[in-house]
Copies of this chain bind each other. A is one copy, B any other.
Amino acid sequence: MDVYEAIYSRRDVRHFRTDPVPDDVLQRILNAAHHAGSVGFMQPWNFLVIRSAATKQRIFDLYKEANRQAAEDYQGEQRALYDSLKLSGILEANINLAVTCDSQRETGGGLGRKSMPETAVYSTCCAIENLWLAARAEGIGVGWVSIVDPDTAKQILGIPKSLTLVAYLCIGVPISFDKKPMLERAGWQARVPLEELVYYEAWGHRSTSPEKV
């Protein structure tokens, strides 16, 4: 699949069939993740592949509690809309994947991290986007669950305290890849026009004419 097609048709998937993700597909999308750039070629990531229904259930219980708390921030129509949204496919997705970052890993010899040590985590996010796009090309859906308490999730998964749980992903055969993001279709949030987010030469300056800066 063309890279632009993958970028524009990638979705945060929450509706999965329970069909298995073939092992060769899983290995290809993990390898795509592993070929993201990383600061100083640090490769600070690990991937924990979860197929166990019991583990998924424990994480789902965590999600339910976090989602119950999050819902309380909304009132009226917004609350009704929030409650109608399906925000995870933890139990249905064939694979759950925890992606972690070890910011103390010695790989890369610290190169590039003295001024901005946070780039270790940033590299891990780039790996996740690679995985997401590769999965799209494979016809596999990925959903990112951020509605869990990360410290409790780490305990459940046995992830060492010093590591960062960057993402908890649901990976599986999607019911569909929708044309638009679910939150856009549901009327939760529209896409912001790109031109409102791009500045030229100086912060807040939207013209491309340098003489006006």
Contacts and interface: CB of A to CB of B under 8 A. Distances in A.
A166 B126 CA distance: 12
B110 A41 contact: no
B52 A32 contact: no
Interface string A192-213: 1010011111111000101001
Best-surrounded residue of A2, A23, A37, A45 (most CB of chain B within 10 A): A37
Given A2-B1, A203-B158, A122 B119 contact: no
B110 A201 contact: no
At the interface, is chain A mostly helix, strand, loop or mixed?
mixed
Copies in the complex: 2
A16 interface: no
A210 B51 contact: yes
A125 interface: yes
B146 A115 contact: yes
A139 interface: no
A146 to B, nearest CB: 4
A111 B199 contact: no
Give the 4 A-B residue pairs with the shortest CB-CB distance, closest first. A125-B125, A129-B129, A158-B203, A126-B129
